[in-house]
């Protein structure tokens, strides 16, 4: 018998348990908020740069992330840290992106539109990473006396904290994005003129 069905069964059971874990979801929500805030803080979307990179067959060192120019060296410290802690999930999202290449070709999605889909894929896969980390943290905390008390507090305040996270995100992202658009391109090396 092939070990593949056992791996899928074990993975499905793990995901089912992790998806019912409140600490894990709080960590996922906090990560999603930081991801959205970091993107909102980037340079404004640049369809012209995306078209230039697409036509030059990737000869630029600048990538496009959610329509915005992305060059690790020039990004904010918070985005650099987020990029580094999400690196395992970013690498895991590469096969998913390759599987979607035929869909991009079929619907004639360019680099600009595709960068939004790519950012969504990274967010979903990194959410799985943080769901796993949160689940493991919950299990570790549950084995400690003080950790059990902390987890009970989290369980009691989960709804209120989740609402606060969503309100923070809904109010901050548009505000930061507007300020970022007002500033324009953050670094001349990632601009397209």
CA 33/CA 178 separation, integer angstroms: 17
pLDDT tens for each residue of 33-78: 999 999 999 888 888 877 787 777 656 777 888 888 888 888 888 8
Q: How confident is the model at residue 184 (pLDDT cuts 50, 70, 90)?
A: low
The chain-wide mean pLDDT, for the chain, equals 86
pLDDT at 86: 94
Hey, what are 122's tokens? 């990274």
User: Mean pLDDT over residues 180-191, rounded?
Assistant: 62
Would you say residue 172 has pLDDT above 70?
A: yes
Q: How confident is the model at residue 193 (pLDDT cuts 50, 70, 90)?
A: very low
Delimit the domains of the chain by residue range.
22-183
Q: Residue 150's closest CA among 137, 159, 163, 162?
A: 137
Selected residue with higher pLDDT from 46 and 165: 165
Model's pTM, two decimal places? 0.84
User: Mean pLDDT over residues 75-100, rounded?
Assistant: 90
């Amino acid at each position: 018998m092939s070990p593949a069905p056992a791996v899928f069964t074990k993975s499905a059971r793990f995901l089912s348990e992790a998806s019912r874990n409140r600490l894990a979801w709080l960590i996922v929500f906090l990560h999603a908020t930081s991801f959205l805030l970091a993107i909102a803080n980037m340079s404004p979307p640049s369809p012209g740069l995306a078209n230039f990179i697409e036509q030059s067959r990737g000869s630029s060192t600048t990538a496009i992330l959610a329509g915005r120019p992305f060059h690790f060296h020039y990004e904010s410290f918070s985005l650099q840290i987020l990029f580094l802690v999400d690196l395992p999930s970013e690498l895991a999202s590469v096969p998913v992106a390759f599987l979607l290449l035929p869909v991009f070709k079929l619907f004639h999605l360019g680099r600009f539109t595709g960068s939004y889909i790519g950012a969504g894929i990274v967010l979903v896969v990194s959410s799985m990473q943080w769901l796993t980390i949160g689940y493991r943290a919950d299990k570790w905390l549950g084995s400690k006396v003080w950790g059990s008390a902390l987890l009970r507090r989290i369980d009691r305040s989960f709804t209120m904290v989740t609402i606060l996270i969503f309100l923070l995100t809904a109010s901050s992202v548009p505000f930061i994005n507007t300020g970022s658009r007002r500033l324009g391109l953050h670094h001349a090396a990632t601009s397209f003129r």
